[in-house]
Amino acid sequence: MANLADLSNELLLIIVSYLTTGDDIDIQALFNLCRTSQRLLAIARPALYTCVRIAEPASDPLRSLEIFLRTLLERPDLTKATRELAVINDLGIPYEWPALQHDPYVMDLSFLISGHPNEIEPELCYRPLAMEVLSRLPNLQHLQVTAEIEPPYSLLQHMHQLQADSSILSKLKMFHL
């Protein structure tokens, strides 16, 4: 009986391509493939990053966005894979920036962005993190932003400034706010 591991990489890539819908079931299937073996990890991980949904957990509202940004900083090859991004900030939880100075994860992320140890970007909160993520996704085509924390005008203004600075978001075809 044939086994999934017996298939060629080309056939596995074709199979994985059918799971890049962004549907929760397909995302779970890709995640499970990534955990199966090193070979399947190398094939399925780029597909896992084609459609990304970042929602803020109530326990730590910035954590999902921080983890995704850290992945983009440490694995720049995955930045090219992301075609769709949904950023959901619907809890309306305000962030206290002085408290972030005591968060080692945020301090480490700030170092990866700025290159200065033991310094935090003063506004390394939701909007700046989201803008940093967007600036690192050259092939982004679909963007959905759900935000309760800031007025939509503020997010649009910062996205416009980001676009004006370079060709970032140049491939964007669809934007939902």
pLDDT over threshold 50, residue 4: yes
Q: Which residue has the tokens 């934007």?
A: 175
Supply the pLDDT for residue 122. Answer: 46
pTM for the structure as a whole: 0.73
> What are the phi and psi torsion angles at 8 (to 5°)?
-70, 160
Of 146, 120, 144, 149, which Cα lies nearest the Cα of 134? 144
Q: Do 177 and 153 contact (CB within 8 A), yes or no?
A: no
The residue ranking higher by pLDDT, 106 or 139, is 139
Q: Do 50 and 80 contact (CB within 8 A), yes or no?
A: no
Supply the pLDDT for residue 100. Answer: 59
The residue ranking higher by pLDDT, 2 or 153, is 2
DSSP state of 81: T
Supply the pLDDT for residue 38. Answer: 93
- The 10s digit of each residue's pLDDT in 20-72 is 888 888 889 999 999 999 999 999 999 999 998 888 776 776 778 888 888 88
The residue ranking higher by pLDDT, 90 or 18, is 18
The identity of residue 10, as a single letter, is E
What percent of the chain is modeled with pLDDT above 70? 62
Strands (E) across the chain are located at: 51-55, 84-89, 142-147, 174-176
Supply the pLDDT for residue 150. Answer: 56
